[in-house]
Structure formats: C-alpha cells, structure tokens
Amino acid sequence: MTQPTETELKLRREITTLEQQVLEKHADNIKLRKQIEFLTLTTNEAGAKISKLTKEVKDAKKTNQELQGELSIVKATTVTNSPEMRDANKKILTLKLKIKELETRVEGLIDPVQKARESGL
C-alpha cells in the first residue's frame, strides 16, 4: 500500500471539512424545522384562544344589552308607573294644591290684622 500524496491528504481534509459543514447545516435545518413546527402550533393555539375570547366578548355584550333592556322595562313599570305610585302622586298633587289654597287664605287673614296693627287698632 502506498502512502497518500500530499494532494490526496489535502483533498481528504477538505472533504471531511465539507462533510462536517453539511452535517452542521443539516442540524441547523432540523432545528429550524422544529422551530417552525413549534411556532405553527403556538400560532394555531393563539388563534383558537383569540377566537374563543372574541366569542366570549360578543356573548357578554349581548347578555349586557339584554339585561339593560330588562332593567329599563322593570324601572319603567315598577317605579314610576305602578298603580300605587300613580295614586300616591295624585294624593301629593292634591295636598300641594290644598296647601297653596291654605297659604293664600292665611295671607288673606294676616293682611287685615297687620293693617289694623299698623293703624293703631
């Protein structure tokens, strides 16, 4: 067996170096593929979560609107428009009118008394 020439040794070293570079590139490609797979899964999961949260927000808004509508109906029918409140408001109005009338009468009675006092009677 003959000894390899210097050129052959140099070529073998270059081939070994190139093989190592190819293996490193291949390893880098495998790492990149794994990263892409991970990012794809993460993106899909995030998209699913966003869709779920968007639906929950829409449902919450719808429920809020429904509750506001029901609250408006309850307020309108029970607080100011109930038969009891209408009767009470009528009584209050009647009493206010009577108070005005009595105030006017009292003023009419006080006026002559004050005039009599002022005149010295």
Confidence check: pLDDT of 120 > 70:
no
Q: Are residues 31 and 13 in the same domain?
A: yes
For residue 91, is pLDDT > 80? Answer: yes
Query: Given pLDDT bands bounded at 50, 70 and 90, which one contains residue 85?
Result: confident
Residues 112 and 77 in one domain: no
The string of pLDDT tens digits covering residues 23-54 is 999 999 999 999 988 888 888 888 888 888 89
The answer on 109 and 77 residing in a single domain is no
Asked whether residue 76 falls in the same domain as residue 50, the answer is yes
Same domain, residue pair 28 and 63: yes
Indicate whether 62 and 90 sit together in one domain: no
Instruction: Kindly state whether residues 18 and 74 are assigned to the same domain.
Output: yes
Tell me what percent of the residues of the chain surpass a pLDDT of 70: 93
In total, how many domains does the chain have?
A: 2
Per-residue b or e along 25-43, where b marks 16 or more CB atoms closer than 10 Å to that residue's CB: eeeeeeeeeeeeeeeeeee
The label of the residue with tokens 């009677």 reads: 121
**What is the predicted pLDDT for the residue at 88?**
87
Domain around 106: 83-121
Query: What's the pLDDT band for 20 if we cut at 50, 70, 90?
Result: very high
CA-based nearest residue to 27, from 39, 19, 38: 19
Element holding 4 (H helix, E strand): none
CA distance 61 to 57: 6
